[in-house]
Amino acid sequence: MEPQTIMDKRTRLETAFALRVADRPPILGGWLAAPQHICTLTGCSQEEYWDDPLAWSLAAEQALGSDGLIDVFMPVSRGEYRCVDQRVLDKRAAYTVERMLAEIEAMPDAAMLRAGFDAEALYQEMAAEHLERQTACGDMVWCPADWKLIPKALWYEQFGYETALTALALYPDRYRKLIEVSAEQGRQRAVVRARMMREGMLPRALLTGEDLCAQRGPLVSPDYLRREYWHWVEYALEPLLAVGARVVWHCDGDYRPLLDDVLASGVGGLQGFQRECGMELEWIRNLCTRSGDPLLIFGAMSVTETLPHGTPEDVRAEVQRIIDLCRDHVGLAFMTSNTITPDVPFENLIAYYRAVQESAW
């Protein structure tokens, strides 16, 4: 049955997250990585933006009409639009395998983390952070992605690709500690997130994941991940699954060889999808959770094809295509596949938002 009234933003999101029919699909924002578009939307100058990128980014999301935010993207340094710059890359390049192994050795193990876990202290910290950001968001719902919620498999963001993957290949027993420790840390965050959901502070859908794939498939053997990783993902997510949360997994690149493992670990939704890598809604919509429920989709507006290279008419057609594919198959909250960068024409950004806002199930 079609909804009869226009919903407020929170109701629209909660309805979609529960796999029910909202007045229209909600829009999740927060990945607007184009300072010039933020300036155009808000009327601020470049100087004003760089003085307070958080405030102006929130104002831009309000101007666009986002229903919820999974993040507020802020460039790593002035004049940038990315989350890494040369300083970050130089820091990673400074790591050797020997230095990485020394850091692993110095880490507390998972048992020590369990013994020292102060659930109340972590709750107070995370709840205060959440409430502060929700206040800043106004009527937009703060639906924060939590990339620390799950164990980290590859660790290249900290140690660099060559060093991290070399250590994985040569010292698998010592590398295993990284996965176990991050799984314990993720489970502790899940305990707190679950409490926040029970108390009505946090919506019952949450984006997480790790970039395990490139455009040609997984960066490491799926067999390795099945042996060493996915059972720890399930362990970390267990507190959230126990309260009925829908955990949505970020999928960049060709994730096809790993999707069965992702869903078997308890994940209830998927986000991203690069059609050029074979990740197409035409078949993704037919997947289901391990309990047989439909998926919750965060997506699937392309930032590699349609938004940067299409026309406004192409963008509007893509919005309708996504709605038609998802209707009666999956829950849907519109979101871009990744960050909206400066190569996306401003008129396409506006066309995307207006097409969703004028749509209906």
Q: Write down the domain spans for the chain.
A: 9-357
For residue 44, how many other CB atoms are within 10 A of its CB? 19
- Please identify which residue in the block is written with the tokens 């890598």: 277
Q: Where are the beta strands (DSSP E) in the chain?
A: 28-29, 68-69, 141-142, 205-208, 213-214, 217-218, 246-251, 269-272, 296-298, 331-333
pTM for this predicted structure: 0.95
Tokens of 212: 């395990």
- Please identify which residue in the block is written with the tokens 């799926």: 222
Reading the chain (361 residues) residue by residue, the pLDDT tens digits are 455 589 999 999 999 999 999 999 999 999 999 999 999 999 999 999 999 999 999 999 999 999 999 999 988 888 777 777 777 777 888 899 999 999 999 999 999 999 999 999 999 999 999 999 999 999 999 999 999 999 999 999 999 999 999 999 999 999 999 999 999 999 999 999 999 999 999 999 999 999 999 999 999 999 999 999 999 999 999 999 999 999 999 999 999 999 999 999 999 999 999 999 999 999 999 999 999 999 999 989 999 999 999 999 999 999 999 999 999 999 999 999 999 999 999 999 999 999 999 998 8
Q: Contact, 291 vs 312, CB < 8 A?
A: no
Tokens of 185: 């840390």
Residue 27, beta-bridge partner list: 334
Question: Which ranges in 243-311 belong to alpha helices (H)?
Answer: 259-264, 281-284, 306-309
Say whether the peptide bond before residue 300 is cis (omega within 30 degrees of 0): yes
Q: Contact, 211 vs 157, CB < 8 A?
A: no
Phi, psi for residue 360 in degrees, rounded to 5: -155, 155
| Cα dihedral across residues 190, 196, 197, 203: positive or negative | negative
Residue type, 223: D
Domain 9-357: state its class.
Answer: alpha beta
Tokens of 186: 């993720």
Q: How far apart are CA 307 and CA 250, in angstroms?
A: 19
